[in-house]
Every structure is written in structure tokens, then in C-alpha cells.
Amino acid sequence: MTEVSDSLTESADALPTIPRGRTSVFELPTGLMDMAAAGPIHRLRYADGHVGWIVTDFQLCRKVLTMPEFSSRPDLRHSAIHEAIGDGQPPEERPGMFVGMDPPEHTHYRRIVAAALKLGEMRQLQANITERANALFDADADDRVDLVSAVASPLPALVITQLLGVEEEVSHTLASCLERMLSLDSTADQVREMFAIIFSELGEVVTRRQQDGAPGFIQNMIEDGGLSHAEITSIAFQLYTAGHETTTNMIALSYLYLLANPEAAATLKGDERAIADAMEEFLRFFSIIQYGISRGALEEVELGGVTIRPGETITISLPAANFDNGRFPDPYRLDIGRSDRGHLAFGFGVHQCVAQQLARVELTVALRVFLERYGDFALDSYEMKSDTIVHGLTRLLVRQSGTRKP
Ligand code: HEM
């Protein structure tokens, strides 16, 4: 018996873990490209030793994301990268955590959240986001400016806290907890502690909005009437944690690309249609959810020539899918005129990013405002994040010319 389990452990040890380690900011890890070239689906060893699967083919990724046999329940999903972080699920069960639910339970919450993120209100936000982006650019007139800390990070934080009606003092606590919660250097206990603090702070925000009746997203949910305080807090938590890092890094990487490619910036400046196309290509090409998303098999499934057993985790590699040359010709070329919105950067199926319109509004404004000031900046240096769930930059240093300084 021991011999059998030892040999099983040994064979599991020989299986690949998720490919990590980029050699440059605009390239996927070599191991992922090799894996994708070798076939559409592969065995994968997870952080806790679980043996599951990884899908790298575009069509197969989409298929998995629409199959009811694959669940989003956190208890069925192992993490490919970190024993505690997983896909951002809290360590204990809380009501209203719809990201980790399946239909029909998921559908119930998703409808309420989608309705509360009213398109009209998103459009109204646009003017406000533009004002805030301009103010952030104006705030720092030093010769050298880090566009990550000056613009790319605070802008989405301001937008999400405004959307949720979080007061400024609270937003600082939340931001530092979120950073620690998402760091792969944090221990499981630290991650749990950060989850608990963010939940408790947001719970108090919900209570204050219940008392003062201030309009906004939380009020929209309160008015819906059917949700408890705990459910609204969970929804606020999910939007807060998903809505910051992602947009920040998309903005930072887009700025870096434009600084390094002045001809692309010249093409885009003042052309709304071209900016919209470029933004979609940036989403595909940067594929910032770099280790993909996961599901757990509820039953035995035949897929891509293999048999997946109940309880096995399957990772959907969004970057590999977005670079599948069967779907995107010449995928390793960033083509701002590609005009293809079929990428999987926002996922696919019932869990596809519920706030993608808000993310697009933020990115469009961030690009437009940057392009208007483009001549003021020259790239100095940048630092890529070393190994984080969301790919991106820790620093993007630019030199400012004197044109806009007082
Ligand atoms: C460019 C920025 C963004 C990217 C690339 C992105 C990516 C994604 C992806 C890949 C998923 C699917 C997860 C899955 O299927 O397991 C997702 C879901 C989600 N995203 Fe985003 N996201 C972005 C911005 C945002 C923002 C700004 C917010 C909130 C304000 C947000 C909130 C959410 C939520 C709540 C879900 C879960 C939806 C559900 O389970 O039904 N995201 N996002």
C-alpha cells in the first residue's frame, strides 16, 4: 500500500506546475507558450499537491467556461499558485459570495449586481473619472513621476471607492489590506486576517449607507430590498477586491506600451474609435489575469481527448487562450488596429466580468487623458511585478518636460 502511494506521489511530483516567470513584460512565460504548443489540455500539479488540469486552447477554454459540469465553488477548486489565495475567495463561507456560486444561486445575485451597476450611472461616472484623471496628472509637477503611484493606482481606487460610497479615510486602510491580501509573499494567516479587516470595514460602510441613505451602488442594492446586510457587504467586497488591481495594471501596461511606441500613440491621439480598438487589443495582449481562472469538476467529463474526474480542478489559461493562433492570427504581435473583441481577458460564460463596462470606461478615460498629455512625457524606467496574480508594473517612471509645469 505504501509503495503504491509513494509511487503516486512521485509521479505527481513529476507533473508540471503552472508556468511562471516572464523574461520580459510583454512576453508570456516560455513554459506556457511551450505547453500551449504541445496540446490543448495538460495535467497540472497544484500548490497543495492536488493533480488537475490546465486548458490552453481558445475554443476549449470557452467551452469549459460554459459547461455546467464545471463549478465555481471554492471548495472544489485548488489554487495553482498559492495555498491560501486561490481565485480571491474568502477562506470561510459568507452569504452573497456569488463569484464562488453556480446557477441558479449565482444568477440570483448576478442579476441584482448587474442591475445596480446601471449603465447610465457608469456613463455619468465618465465625466467624473476624466476630472479625477486630469487632477492626478496635474498633482505631480516633479521632473520625474511614477505613473503607477501617481495615476494608474489611485484612479481605479478612487473610482471603486466612489462607486461603493467608501469614505476617504477608510479607503487608505482598505488599499493597504488589499495589497497585502493579494501578495504571494503573504502567509495563509495574513491573507485571512486581511480578508477579515476588509470585510469588517466594508460592513461598517454598508451600515452607514443604510443610515444616511446616500445614493450610489450600495443604495441601489439596499433599495432592491431582498438582500441582507451580510450579503451586501460580500458583494461590496467582491467588487472592491476585483476592481482595483486589475484596472491599475491595465492602465500601467498600456502607458508603458505607448511610451515605448510613439507611432502608436500618434495614431490613437484624438481618435475615439482607434482608442477603443487599441484598448481591446491591450486587454488581449496583456492578459493580466496571468495564471488564469479555475473550476472544479462536478462529474466525469470527456474533454479534448481526456477524462476529467469529479473533484479535479481545471485551470483555464486566459493568456494561453488569448494567444491561440487558431483564433488570433499572428498572436504575439500587438496590433492596435486588430479590431477583435473576442478575447477572454474578462473571462466567458455566466461569470464573465460583471463590471467590464466600468473597466472599459476607466481604461478609455485613462488612455484619452494620457494621450492628450503625451508630449509631456518620456520613458525613464519601469519595474515589472515579480510574480503576482495580476500581471503588471510596480513602477513606471517618466521624465516630464517643462511644457506643463508652472
Ligand atoms: C481590466 C480590468 C478587469 C479584468 C481584466 C477583469 C477580469 C475578470 C475575469 C477574468 C473575471 C471572470 C472570473 C471567473 O470566471 O472566475 C472577472 C469577474 C469579475 N469581475 Fe472583473 N475584471 C476587471 C475589472 C473589474 C472591475 C473594475 C470590477 C469591479 C468594479 C470587477 C469585478 C468583477 C466581479 C465582481 C467578477 C465576478 C463576476 C461573477 O462571478 O459573476 N472586475 N473579471
Cβ neighbours of 16 (radius 10 Å)? 13
% residues pLDDT > 90 (the chain): 69
Question: Which of 195 and 363 is assigned the larger pLDDT?
Answer: 363
**Candidate from 43-52, 81-90, 188-197, 333-342 with smallest mean pLDDT:** 81-90
Question: Which of 50 and 406 is assigned the larger pLDDT?
Answer: 50
Checking if the pLDDT of 202 tops 80, the result is: yes
Question: Is 333 strand, coil or helix?
Answer: coil
Angle between helices 119-139 and 154-164 (to 10 degrees): 140
Checking if the pLDDT of 401 tops 50, the result is: yes
Checking if the pLDDT of 122 tops 80, the result is: no
pLDDT at 90: 55
Task: Give the CATH superfamily of 14-404.
Answer: Cytochrome P450 (1.10.630.10)
| Ligand 1 touching residue 317 (CB < 6 A) | no
Collect contacts of 369-374 with beta carbons under 8 A, ≥24 apart.
369/130, 369/133, 369/134, 369/137, 370/137, 370/151, 370/255, 370/258, 371/258, 371/265, 371/268, 371/269, 371/270, 371/275, 372/269, 373/137, 373/404, 374/258, 374/262, 374/265, 374/269
| Averaged pLDDT of the chain | 90
Mean pLDDT on 384-390: 86
**The model's pTM:** 0.93
pLDDT at 88: 47
pLDDT at 1: 34
- Cell triple for residue 39? 496540446
Over residues 19-67, the pLDDT tens digits come to 998 989 999 999 999 999 999 999 999 999 999 999 999 999 999 999 9
| Ligand 1 touching residue 247 (CB < 6 A) | yes
C-alpha 95/C-alpha 117 separation (Å) is: 20
To test the ligand 1 pocket, which listed residue (109, 282, 346) has its Cβ within 8 A of the most ligand atoms? 346
To test the ligand 1 pocket, which listed residue (246, 288, 295, 314) has its Cβ within 8 A of the most ligand atoms? 246
Mean pLDDT on 169-194: 85
Checking if the pLDDT of 404 tops 60, the result is: no
| Residue 190's pLDDT band (cuts 50, 70, 90) | confident
Q: Which atom number of ligand 1 is nearest to the Cα of residue 160?
A: 30
Over residues 281-311, the pLDDT tens digits come to 999 999 999 999 999 999 999 999 999 999 9
pLDDT at 233: 95
Q: Which atom number of ligand 1 is nearest to the Cα of residue 347?
A: 10
Q: Which atom number of ligand 1 is nearest to the Cα of residue 350?
A: 41
Mean pLDDT on 166-171: 88
Atom 40 of ligand 1, residue of closest alpha carbon:
99
pLDDT at 168: 84
> In sequence order, which residues have a C-beta less than 8 Å from that of residue 292 and are 6 or more positions away?
18, 54, 80, 315, 316, 317, 318, 319, 320
| Ligand 1 touching residue 117 (CB < 6 A) | no
Question: Which of 118 and 39 is assigned the larger pLDDT?
Answer: 39
Checking if the pLDDT of 3 tops 50, the result is: no
Mean pLDDT on 325-348: 96
pLDDT at 231: 95
Mean pLDDT on 366-370: 97
Mean pLDDT on 381-393: 91
Mean pLDDT on 239-244: 90
C-alpha 293/C-alpha 205 separation (Å) is: 30
Atom 35 of ligand 1, residue of closest alpha carbon:
239
Mean pLDDT on 362-373: 96
| Ligand 1 touching residue 122 (CB < 6 A) | no
Compute the distance from residue 99 Cα to the ligand 1 centre, in Å. Answer: 9
